[in-house]
Amino acid sequence: MRERLILKFLLILGIGLIPFVFERKYLKDGIIIFMGKGLLAIFLDTLTTGKKKIKYPIRFLPNYFRSNILFDLLLFPLVCVFYNRITREDKYVKMLWKASLTSLTLTIIEVYFEANTRLINFKNSWRWYHTFLSETVTLLLFRLFIGIIRKFDDGKEKGMA
């Protein structure tokens, strides 16, 4: 019962944060990041749950998904959009620092949930540092990806002038 309340709270929180995370000026970037991150997250989570490395005993739509679709399709994509927003002008070291700090925060929350709820169970050699590393790498990959897209967009605009 407590787990369902946590899930409902996280759903409401995620939906409530949408207008604050997306910037009107960079809406296209945000949508690309959000959709791409959601796609990657659901794919990777399907692999980890399929290999029985992680299990989500209590989750949204349990008859349809073995993965944590709330985190995969809403919460982590929002975090990724926000991370890209706060690192837009940063150099590499600062981006890495912010990605590590963001991933550490998410990992601490996940470890707490794993120890104190039935929302997530680590199985078969999955450890907290796997979560930390995978989240850090995906944040940095999407930052690199959107940076490349911005370069192409800037070049396109300059070439048309």
Helix (H) or strand (E) holding 88: none
The domain tally of the chain equals 1
3-state SS class at 57: coil
Q: Are 53 and 126 in contact (CB under 8 A)?
A: yes
Predicted TM-score (pTM) of this structure: 0.90
Q: For every one of its 161 residues, what pLDDT tens digit does the chain have, with 9 covering 90 and above?
A: 799 999 999 999 999 999 999 999 999 999 999 999 999 999 999 999 989 899 999 998 888 888 899 999 999 999 999 999 999 999 999 999 999 999 999 999 999 999 999 999 998 788 999 999 999 999 999 999 998 988 887 766 555 44
Question: Pick from 73, 143, 145, 137: which is nearest to 107 by CA?
Answer: 137
**Enclosing domain of residue 16:** 2-160
